[in-house]
């Protein structure tokens, strides 16, 4: 038995399994009290012919809540409360809602922030207050919710503000503060297990109060404006679907500065690089994120891309952050440096209290390298629309500088596989390329060629023009021995087995003849960071693990909706129509 890839480090999900909140708390949307059905989600956009689903479509919808019952308090035996005059909206940042003694010091002034960006000059816990028509939150994951019945809301506020290290969110009905204490009710959310919490249903006249204590890693810039003289030449002009992103009040997001992105004590650019760091945003670049996920198996390759950013291991800092990402210019096959600032593009369709990202999200443990690599590649290729739809091999060429990129596709007439590349076998020369994958497709296209010889990088080394499933598996396995990179593209057709149509996946690992059972397996990852095969022999709770306990003991599968799953060789060739190979030996980039 052999494994796919020399580097088989422990997945982050395996390291963090004991720290993860229960599955019911890992959903991106959960209903808050009082419950009612969420609004219908918008229909997904149609897929273009290449591998693009129009983005991960994983921005959570807010959970709706029913309006308060009129005229009667919560407990029937008690007399109804006297009419209460409608209270004015809560001014954000004011202390009107709280006891006079405020345990959370105010944030530094804009002037102080501009003069001294040392993070030690300001408190890192910052209170945000909102009126809401729903009293609900939007979140990536949510920690434990604690309901307090018959307890004083004012005392609850004091507890909430006195322990920001424990609590992150609080909600209550505004008028209920003046009810008898035994009829009051409020809800607290623990900070542990909660990520990217934001208030929904913001309404200055709302009947619910929503309080959030945010952790700000660094002080914000004045008016949340990155210094003009340090801005890159891309961010302000970025557009998506033909629409300028940052116009009017919508500003780019500076991570870790209280704008709702990466307000995380563990914030860093590069840490423990892992394929699970990738979480696709609203851009239809699954092909790129899948390619990046495959590169992440080789830590050194990612670090090489950022090698011209001084002291990258110490970033980000409180001062304005500038990153240099070194990519390959495909028309010249020379390296180019793409210089970008720390700002990330905001989603123009956000409806929450804080802006959400258009592009990929930070990792669960606060790493930002995927966000900045994706931004640099978008800038290099001509913008977000230029990277909507594509193929893994194009991304690998940009990141590695390797011309030898191959695509295996099934011949419908023979049901066997053929090898294709941007190589003219008649002229025996590689075709010219562009950084924009769409321009590249329009100019050159691909040619069918004989299957390459693994380790030789010649286009005529293997005389076979077509291969069976078993032969393709052996070819992929041989690629493993020299640490090539592998990906796959799914079929269309609306299957209901949990697979996404026309979507790019990363092939992380393969197992040949597992434990002498004759079973060949692939470990695959969805760049969305969620969504897996259903009813597979070896899905997270598949029957194969119980039937073959020796395989389970060897592979140690972790049950989590993180987009990583196992498929048999037969399932793989049933679900996937395309295999991508980057014939670049990545051995030098392996790290323990």
Q: Which residues are catalytic?
A: 286, 503, 526
Residue 461 to residues 427, 446, 454, 467, 553: CA-CA distances in angstroms? 16, 19, 9, 15, 39
Identify whether 34 is preceded by a cis peptide bond (ω within 30 of 0).
yes
Helix 286-295, helix 392-400: angle, nearest 10: 50
Is residue 440 within 8 Å of residue 446, measured between CB atoms?
Answer: no
Phi, psi angles (nearest 5°) of residue 367: -85, 140
449 forms bridges with which residues in the sheet? 419
d(CA 47, CA 509): 28
490 forms bridges with which residues in the sheet? 576
**Helix (H/G/I), strand (E/B), else coil: 510:** strand
Q: What is the DSSP-derived secondary structure letter of residue 262?
A: -
Q: If phi over 0 gives left and psi between -120 and 50 gives alpha, with beta otherwise, what is residue 266?
A: alpha
CA-based nearest residue to 306, from 234, 387, 394, 377: 377
d(CA 124, CA 165): 11
d(CA 504, CA 497): 16
Tally of CB atoms within 10 A around 45: 13
d(CA 398, CA 380): 9
CA-based nearest residue to 305, from 260, 338, 264, 281: 338
Give the count of alpha carbons within 13 A of 534, CB side only: 8
């Amino acid at each position: 038995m052999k494994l796919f890839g020399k580097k088989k480090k422990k997945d982050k999900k395996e390291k963090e399994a004991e720290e993860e909140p229960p599955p019911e708390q890992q959903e991106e949307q959960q209903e808050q009290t009082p419950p009612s059905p969420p609004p219908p989600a918008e229909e997904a956009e149609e897929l273009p012919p290449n591998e693009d689903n129009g983005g991960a479509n994983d921005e959570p919808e807010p959970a709706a809540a029913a309006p308060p019952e009129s005229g009667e308090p919560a407990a029937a035996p008690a007399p109804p409360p006297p009419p209460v005059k409608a209270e004015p909206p809560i001014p954000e940042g004011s202390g009107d809602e709280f006891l006079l003694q405020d345990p959370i010091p105010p944030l530094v002034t804009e002037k102080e922030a501009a003069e001294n960006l040392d993070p030690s000059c300001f408190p890192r816990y910052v209170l945000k207050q909102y009126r809401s028509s729903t009293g609900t939150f939007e979140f990536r994951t949510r920690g434990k919710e604690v309901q307090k019945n018959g307890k004083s809301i004012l005392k609850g506020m004091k507890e909430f503000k006195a322990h920001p290290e424990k609590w992150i969110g609080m909600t209550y009905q505004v008028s209920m503060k003046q009810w008898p204490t035994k009829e009051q009710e409020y809800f607290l959310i623990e900070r542990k297990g909660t990520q990217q919490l934001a208030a929904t249903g913001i309404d200055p006249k709302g009947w619910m109060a929503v309080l959030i204590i945010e952790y700000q890693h660094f002080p914000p810039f004045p008016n949340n404006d990155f210094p003009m003289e340090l801005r890159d030449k891309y961010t302000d002009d970025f557009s998506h679907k033909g629409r300028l992103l940052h116009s009017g009040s919508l500003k780019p997001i500076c991570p870790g500065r209280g704008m709702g992105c990466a307000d995380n004590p563990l914030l860093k650019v590069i840490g423990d690089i892992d394929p699970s760091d990738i979480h696709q945003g609203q851009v239809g670049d699954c092909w790129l994120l899948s390619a990046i996920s495959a590169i992440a198996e080789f830590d050194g390759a990612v670090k090489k891309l950022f090698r011209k950013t001084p002291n990258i291991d110490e970033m980000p800092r409180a001062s304005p952050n500038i990153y240099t990402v070194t990519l390959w210019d495909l028309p010249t096959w020379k390296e180019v440096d793409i210089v970008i600032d720390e700002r990330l593009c905001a989603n123009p369709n956000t409806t929450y209290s804080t802006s959400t990202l258009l592009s990929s999200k930070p990792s669960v443990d606060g790493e930002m390298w995927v966000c900045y690599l994706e931004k640099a590649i978008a800038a290099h290729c001509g913008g977000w629309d230029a990277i909507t739809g594509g193929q893994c091999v194009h991304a690998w060429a940009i990141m590695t500088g390797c011309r030898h990129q191959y695509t295996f596709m099934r011949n419908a007439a023979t049901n066997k596989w053929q090898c294709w590349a941007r190589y003219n076998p008649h002229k025996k020369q590689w075709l010219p390329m562009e950084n924009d994958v769409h321009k590249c497709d329009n100019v050159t296209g691909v040619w069918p060629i004989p299957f390459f010889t693994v380790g030789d990088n010649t286009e005529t080394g293997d005389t076979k023009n077509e291969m069976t499933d078993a032969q393709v598996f052996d070819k992929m396995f041989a690629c493993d021995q020299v640490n090539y990179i592998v990906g796959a593209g799914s079929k269309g057709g609306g299957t209901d087995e949990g697979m996404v149509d026309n979507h790019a996946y990363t092939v992380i690992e393969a197992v040949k003849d597992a434990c002498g059972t004759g079973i060949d397996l692939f470990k695959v990852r969805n760049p969305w960071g969620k969504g897996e095969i259903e009813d597979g022999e070896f899905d997270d709770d598949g029957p194969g693990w119980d039937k073959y306990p020796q395989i389970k003991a060897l592979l140690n599968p972790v049950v989590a909706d993180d987009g990583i799953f196992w498929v048999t060789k037969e399932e793989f060739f049933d679900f996937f129509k395309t295999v991508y190979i980057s014939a670049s030996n990545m051995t030098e980039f392996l790290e323990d």
